[in-house]
Structure formats: C-alpha cells, structure tokens
Amino acid sequence: MQQHKGMNIDSPISRDRFLDLRKKYHSTLSSCKSFGDGIIEDPIFPLDYEEIEGKAAISTDLLSRIRRDYPQQDWKASTISIIGSSLHNLTREYEYHRDWKEQLAVWTTSAKKVRYLLVGNQQAPEGLRYLKDIAQSGFNLEIFLLKDGKENKIERSEFIKSYSESHFVLFDSPRIMWLEGFHPVGESYALNCRYYSPQVAELHKSVYEVLELKFNRMVALSDNVH
C-alpha cells in the first residue's frame, strides 16, 4: 500500500510551526472559498467529490461509501482522524448508531491509530464514557478535548467557533476525506456533506493537507482525555 509523503499526521505542532506551514499553503488558503465555517475547497480542480443532498450521517453515508470504494478495508497503515462535538451518535441504539459504534471498534483494533478530537464542552456523558472505555481497554484510540483556556485563548476560540458544528474525518493511507459543512450540536445528522474517495482525495491533496495541518494544531492545543 502506498505511503503518502508530507506532514506527519501523528504529530501535534507548535504555533510557530503552524504559522510556518500556513505560509507554505497561503496560496491554497487564499484561493479557497469557505465551506461551512472551517472546511475549504480547492477551486482549481473539478467538483468531482460526492455531495450528499439533504441530511447525512457518518454512520450510514460515510461508511457505505468507504465499503463501496475500499472493499479491502485494510487500515493497518492508516491513521484515522475524526473531529466531533456532542457524541450523540454514540448514545443511541438505532441500527445505524450501532453500526457506527461497531465500525469505531473495528478501526481501533485494525488501524494504525484513531484520533478523536472533541471540540467544545458539549459532549454527551454516555458517548464520552464509551470512547474512554475503548481507550482504556488498550486499543489504538487517542481522545483529545479542545476547550477554552487561558493559553492561546484567541486561537482556541477561533478553532472552537469553526469546528464545533463543522466536522471532518481524514484517513491518511489511503487518503479519504469526509467533510460536514454543518452538524447541529446534539443531532445525529449533518448537512452540506462531501465525500472524497481515495482517487478524488489525491487530486485535492492541498485541501487534505490544510485540514491535516489544522487538525494537528488543534491537537497541540487540546487536553488528552483518559
């Protein structure tokens, strides 16, 4: 399986490093238009991603597309990075919610690593407890919480504003992207969702790398959850 070169998705970065890298991607950032508050797109390439009409859920719409486009489901070389907020998808017992919980369990045992970044202080206790139980069982799951704090206060606030209701999922090997333009707190669905298959994500690698950069910086500002 091909390994992708570039920034190491596993590495939280300092603010200075973040600013240096942001200069590198300045042309991408300045030419990209806003998608939700925190998601961007690259207008250079055709709109060849899948845009899901109406309501969409990670537990159904993302998983069905991954299973269709990547049937081998071999995640050994992949770090999976997920941004979420309220965790209500982990607290309900409809079939598609159970599918999401089961898929998370699969990823945490088969992927190189799963990083779950929680933005804000609105997590459902039951959902957070479920993640903690997985992490404490020794599986490959790291949980981070980005919340307001005295250090880097403005930067934290900007990230929280951008990503408390605008989420994404990144796979780094193969590259896959799932973007949620608007995910209301406490709801199981999102709106303005886009899916980038492995082939399409390679064409939009500048978008991927900017989101990866932002994820790593948010991790550096976050607390580990144990």
Nearest 5 degrees, angle CA 70-CA 75-CA 80?
100
Q: Domain coordinates of the chain in residue numbers?
A: 15-224
Q: Which of 201, 180, 198 is nearest to 82 (CA)?
A: 180
- Residues whose CB falls within 8 Å of the CB of residue 17, separated by 6 or more in sequence, listed in order: none
Between 98 and 117, name the one with better pLDDT. Answer: 117
Helix 205-221 to helix 15-24 angle (10° resolution) is 170
- Under CATH, what is the fold of the domain 15-224? Endonuclease; Chain A (3.30.870)
- Residues whose CB falls within 8 Å of the CB of residue 103, separated by 6 or more in sequence, listed in order: 59, 63
CA–CA separation, 19 vs 64, rounded Å?
A: 37
Maximum Cα interatomic distance, the chain, rounded to a whole number of Å: 45
Residue range 139-156, pLDDT digits in tens = 899 999 999 988 889 999
What's the whole-number mean pLDDT along residues 22-39?
Answer: 46
Cα 8–chain centre separation? 15
- pTM reported for the whole predicted model: 0.81
Residue range 33-47, pLDDT digits in tens = 344 444 444 444 456
